[in-house]
Amino acid sequence: MEGEEGVQQPQLVLANNLFLLSQNDVDDIEKVRLRDEVFNFIVANDMAPLYETLVGNKVLDLDQKTLDLMRSKNDDELKKLEEKIADAEENLGESEVREAHLAKSLFYIRIGDKEKALEQLKITEGKTVAVGQKMDLVFYTLQIGFFHMDFDLISKSIDKAKNLFEEGGDWERKNRLKVYEGLYCMSTRNFKKAADLFLDSISTFTTYELFPYDTFIFYTGLTSIISLDRVSLKQKVVDAPEILTVIGKIPYLSDFLNSLYDCQYKSFFTAFAGLTQHIKLDRYLHPHFRYYMREIRTVVYSQFLESYKSVTIEAMAKAFGVTVDFIDLELSRFIAAGKLHCKIDKVAGVLETNRPDAKNALYQSTIKQGDFLLNRIQKLSRVIDL
């Protein structure tokens, strides 16, 4: 399961193919190719437990002869692994015993038996002393969690990894954990924390088992653009050397970032339209597609309106390359939801911004909290006097 440099973990490639098979936006011809690819991978790795699950979910058709053959191979390999464990316990040392149990864990992971894999990883952990090796077992557990999108398992494993790091641990594993946690945050709609963790990991990225570096930069750009202010975006993303070296390989991403920073809103919407299909067909971002679409539009509309005390709806529509009716409908929704601080004068065809005064809001908050504190002190003084 450990990723070689530049190579994604094969089971996670399989998970992505299974996700694409469930999407209506993928055409039928592509689904036929994906289904063949999934079946061939399952047969090549003798993944009988996963095959049974997929047949039960009507993802694949049942081939009883193939299933029986895979089960037979699984039984033979499991028997050899158990013999190896017994031999290690009788004739060899603790290190060899641990390695034998680890091999059994990796076998269950390879064939896609989630429950037995997790159970065997716990047994292997009991035979493990070194903190670094325990961390590697947590990474295996995290990869199982991401394969099945089991966020409870992922969350508990991340907490466990952080507790292990308090006992020690090297920087390479700590940096890898940041990417795992960032992917978890992005998958659970915590884009701000995901962006911070991804940006911290740009120069130390080695987590190729999760996804290629290009995909990592794609996630970093998408999460940063709705999380950072304009100055930070320029410094940490737009001008970052690590991002500049690969951003050209990712369709539309360069235009997406640069046109927003350069206030080229028509180009931004064009690039955004090109990215939407990529976002929709990403298994981690797909559940948050509509939310992300709303957030990015909030960012770009807010940036445009910040430059004006008032502006005509026609001028804004022209800047974005859309119709007046579209902008009117869009802004009315965001204003009603409290996302934009402006109002529409439909008669005059003008947008008037009413940006909140941050200093005044802070002053009002201080007064309110001060009054609350004084009331508490007065109540306490009465009790003391009694």
Nearest to 119 by CA among 97, 139, 141: 141
Nearest to 221 by CA among 162, 175, 171, 282: 282
Per-residue confidence (pLDDT) for residue 285, from 0 to 100: 93
Element (H, E) at 365: helix 358-385
DSSP notation for 155-210: HHHHHHHHHHHHH---HHHHHHHHHHHHHHHHHTT-HHHHHHHHHHHGGG---TTT
What pLDDT digit, counting tens, does each position of 328-360 carry?
A: 888 888 888 888 888 888 788 888 887 665 555
What pLDDT digit, counting tens, does each position of 253-292 carry?
A: 888 888 888 888 888 888 888 888 899 999 999 999 999 9
Per-residue confidence (pLDDT) for residue 266, from 0 to 100: 87
What percentage of the chain exceeds 70 in pLDDT?
95
Per-residue confidence (pLDDT) for residue 156, from 0 to 100: 93
Residue with tokens 């390695």: 99
What pLDDT digit, counting tens, does each position of 129-166 carry?
A: 788 888 989 999 999 999 999 999 999 999 999 888 88
Contact indicator for 247, 221 with CB cutoff of 8 Å:
yes
Contact indicator for 153, 144 with CB cutoff of 8 Å:
yes
For residue 361, what pLDDT band results from cuts at 50, 70 and 90?
A: low
At a CB cut-off of 8 Å and minimum separation 6, what does 299 contact? 225, 226, 260
Mean pLDDT, to the nearest integer, of 61-74?
Answer: 91
Give the N- to C-terminal CA distance of the chain in Å, as an integer: 69
Per-residue confidence (pLDDT) for residue 138, from 0 to 100: 92
Is the pLDDT at 27 greater than 80? The verdict is yes
What pTM did the predictor assign?
A: 0.84
Per-residue confidence (pLDDT) for residue 16, from 0 to 100: 93
